[in-house]
Amino acid sequence: MNRMSASNVSRMSGAGREAIGKEAAGNVRSTADERQAYTGGAIALHWIMAALIIVGFALGWVMTRIPGITPDKLRFYSWHKWLGVTVLALAVLRILWRLTHRAPPLPDGMGVWQRRLAHVGHLMLYVMMIAIPVSGYLYSSASNIPVVYLGLVPLPPIVAPDPVLKLWFKDIHIALDYGLFALVAGHVAAALKHHCFDGDGLLYRMLPFLK
């Protein structure tokens, strides 16, 4: 009887230790997952900006292919400018957030060149999110076309009307748009590669509900 009782106690103790160990490991993983995810505000800002950029690019594509001057074309141009000003303001906010918050660490399995490429890619995205709205604003100013944000707030011109600068800023704006399109495509491809092939959980940082 004593031997059986001792054996049972030993087995129960072992099971208890195992359960405690699993619970502790789960807590460690949960804490690690929380550290590797962006905050809710950062995630919301990321996806709001992504949606605005996609809509702005689509509007730019459509409006420049409408022949002549029509009410729809003028309306699309206004919406495109409003989106640009909004993206510029949010980009400044995002950069300020990034300067005051540390981003979650990249997966341990990423090589040095991948880390450098990721940092360069993010830096270029920030540059584009500032440069594209600014170049569009300069294009409007050089074209002597006012920017009235949301149809309510007139924004001051930042350069004098100039037909040469108008063409120059237009070409820069278009080139930067396609550059951003390529960067975003690369950004999405890299995220899918990490999720589907590497399985390192990188995508969970911006899509925590996928866990």
Domain at 146, CATH number: 1.20.950.20
Same domain (yes/no): 3, 48? no
Say which range, 58-67, 115-124, 191-200, has the weakest mean pLDDT: 191-200
Same domain (yes/no): 82, 9? no
Same domain (yes/no): 3, 53? no
Same domain (yes/no): 24, 67? no
Same domain (yes/no): 75, 107? yes
**Strand pairing report for 147-149 and 153-155:** antiparallel
Same domain (yes/no): 109, 7? no
Q: How much is the pLDDT for 36?
A: 63
Tokens (6 digits) for 109? 């399995």
Same domain (yes/no): 75, 103? yes
C-alpha 205/C-alpha 118 separation (Å) is: 14
What percentage of the chain reaches a pLDDT higher than 70? Answer: 80
Same domain (yes/no): 94, 56? yes
Same domain (yes/no): 174, 114? yes
Q: How much is the pLDDT for 32?
A: 43
Q: How much is the pLDDT for 211?
A: 62
- Chain segment 83-133, per-residue pLDDT in tens: 999 999 999 999 998 888 887 777 777 778 888 888 898 899 999 999 999
Domain span at residue 59 reads: 38-210
Same domain (yes/no): 81, 25? no
Q: How much is the pLDDT for 209?
A: 65
Same domain (yes/no): 2, 106? no
Same domain (yes/no): 14, 103? no
| Number of domains forming the structure of the chain | 2
C-alpha 39/C-alpha 51 separation (Å) is: 19
The model's pTM: 0.77
